[in-house]
């Protein structure tokens, strides 16, 4: 399942944000999507190079609470799947 979603870009492993677990952090490598959706994400700080921390998932695993640029934001899992990340140790 996860193997189908993971992409390689050079030696970098890109994983959708929706595949991260609680407590993990990563750096945004690419935003998929277009139009107003993409613009809305960018306005909230989801830009390449930004660090994102997965605070927690809702009880039914949707939405996800994230910390980016010092503030908390919730995204639907399907929206988070459009954000490609590199995992940080």
pLDDT in tens, 52-79: 999 999 999 899 999 999 999 999 999 9
Local confidence band at 13 (pLDDT 50, 70, 90 cut-offs)? confident
Close Cβ partners of 60 (under 8 Å, ≥ 6 residues apart): none
Q: Which CATH superfamily is domain 2-88 in?
A: Ferrous iron transport protein A (FeoA) (2.30.30.90)
Local confidence band at 5 (pLDDT 50, 70, 90 cut-offs)? low
What distances in angstroms separate CA 9 from CA 1, 48, 78, one per listed residue? 19, 14, 22
Lowest mean pLDDT among 2-6, 28-32, 77-81, 85-89: 2-6
Which pTM was predicted?
0.82
Helix (H, G, I), strand (E, B) or coil at 28: strand
Query: 75: how many CB neighbours lie within 10 A of its CB?
Result: 22
């Amino acid at each position: 399942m996860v193997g189908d979603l993971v992409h390689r870009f050079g030696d970098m492993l890109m994983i959708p944000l929706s595949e991260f677990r609680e407590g993990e952090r990563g750096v945004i490598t690419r935003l998929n999507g277009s139009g107003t959706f993409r613009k809305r994400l960018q306005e909230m700080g989801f830009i390449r190079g930004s660090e994102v921390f997965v605070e927690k998932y809702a009880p039914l695993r949707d939405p996800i609470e994230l910390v980016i640029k010092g503030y908390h934001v919730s995204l639907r899992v399907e929206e988070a799947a459009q954000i490609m990340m590199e995992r940080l140790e």
